Chain A
Amino acid sequence: MYLQMTDLMITFKHETENSQMIGVAICTHAGFAVGLKEACEMISGEQKDFVALGFTFSDELIEYSEKLKELTKDFDEGCIYITDMINASPYNAALVCIYNTNNWVLSGACLPMVIEILIARSVEGMTMNKIIDQVKDSCQFYSGFTSSNDVFK
C-alpha cells in the first residue's frame, strides 16, 4: 500500500506557538533529580514545564510536598511526577501532591523513561493516560544486560 508522506507526519507541540504541555516534575533523593534533569536536557535540549527537586536530610515530608506543589502550580495541563523509589519519601510527597487531581506518580526514574515522556507529551493530541500506557509498555526495555561473553566472542 502506498502511504502519502503526510500520513507519516507527527506534529510536535513545540512547533506551534503558545501550546500547553503536560508538566513533568522529577522528585528523588538528594541530587539525583537535578542531575537527571540536566542529563535529559543534555539530550533533549532545554524543556519547558520541566522541574526537578531533590529531597534532603533537612526536608520534612509535608514541607517538601508543599515545595513540589508550588513548583508545579502553573502546569495547567496536569503534571507527571517522576520519583526514584516506590514508597520512599519523595514518592509519598508526590502522592500528597496528586490528591484530588488526575495527575500521576511514577517510580523507577531513569533517563530513557524521562526522555520518552518528554517526547510523548510534545506530540499533538497526546493525553496523560496515553503517555502513562506508553511508558508502562516500554519500561521493560530500558535496561540492558550484557556479559563480556555475549560481546567478545
Chain B
Amino acid sequence: MLKLVRCDDRLIHGQCMTYIINEYLIHNIIVIDDFTATNLIIKSIFTAAIPKSISASVYTLAESKEAIEKALNDESSTLLLMKKPQTFVQLREKVSSLPNSLNIGPQTIRNGCKICTPYAALNQEEADACKVLTKQGVRVYFNSIGSGAKFVEWSTVEKLFNT
C-alpha cells in the first residue's frame, strides 16, 4: 500500500531516513524522477547506500506505472517520492486510485520562489500544480518530518501566488 506520497527535491535524505521511515513504518521506497533514474551515479547513491531493511527503486515517470500499481496492491508499506508536485499531476493521469493526498517536504529555496514554510519554497509552476491537485480533490499540505512538525495546508499559503 502507498503510505505516503511526498514531494522532496532532495529525495532520500536525513529527514526521510530518520523520521518519515520510522513514523510511517516504510519498507519500500519508490522514487519517480527522470534525472535520477537516468543518471547511474546518482541512482546508485540513492539505491545502494540505504539500509538493507529498506528497498528502494528509481523509475522515470514513463516507466513508473507498473511499479506503482504493484505497490498499491501489495502489503508492503511504500513511500512514493518525487521532486515536484507537477510529477504527481502527471502520475494521476497515468495511474488510477492514487491516494488523494500529497505531502510537500523540503523544496530548495531558489531565486523566483515564494517561501511557504522554512524548508519549502515553490515557484509559480509548482504552485499551479498544487492548485490543479486541489481542484481535483487532493489534499496538499506541507510537512517536514511527520507528526513531530506542523502540518501546513496548501490553502493557507495559496495567497502568496498569482491566480
Contact = CB atoms under 8 A, between A and B. Distances in A.
Interface in B45-62: 45-46, 49-51
Contacts, number: 47
Could you say which of A59, A61, A85, A91 has the most chain B C-beta atoms within 10 Å of its C-beta? Answer: A61
B12 A60 contact: no
A29 B10 CA distance: 13
A57 B14 contact: no
Given A29-B14, A89-B13, A57 B109 contact: yes
B10 A87 contact: no
Given A60-B9, A87-B14, A87-B50, A96 B45 contact: yes
Contact of B13 (A57, A62, A88, A96): A88
Contact of A96 (B10, B12, B42, B50): B42
A88 B108 contact: no
Nearest to B48: A95
A2 interface: no
Q: What's the dominant secondary structure at chain B's contact region?
A: loop
A87 B49 contact: yes
A106 to B, nearest CB: 13
Interface residues of A, number: 17
Nearest to B18: A85
A141 interface: no
B108 A58 contact: yes
A88 B49 CA distance: 10
B46 A57 contact: no
B110 A60 contact: yes
Contacts of B12: 87, 92
Contacts of A59: 108
Interface string A63-90: 0000000000000000000000111110
Contacts of B9: 60-61
Contacts of A85: 14, 17-18
A145 interface: no
Interface of A: 29, 57-62, 85-89, 91-92, 95-96, 99
Interface of B: 9-10, 12-14, 17-18, 41-42, 45-46, 49-51, 106, 108-110, 118-119
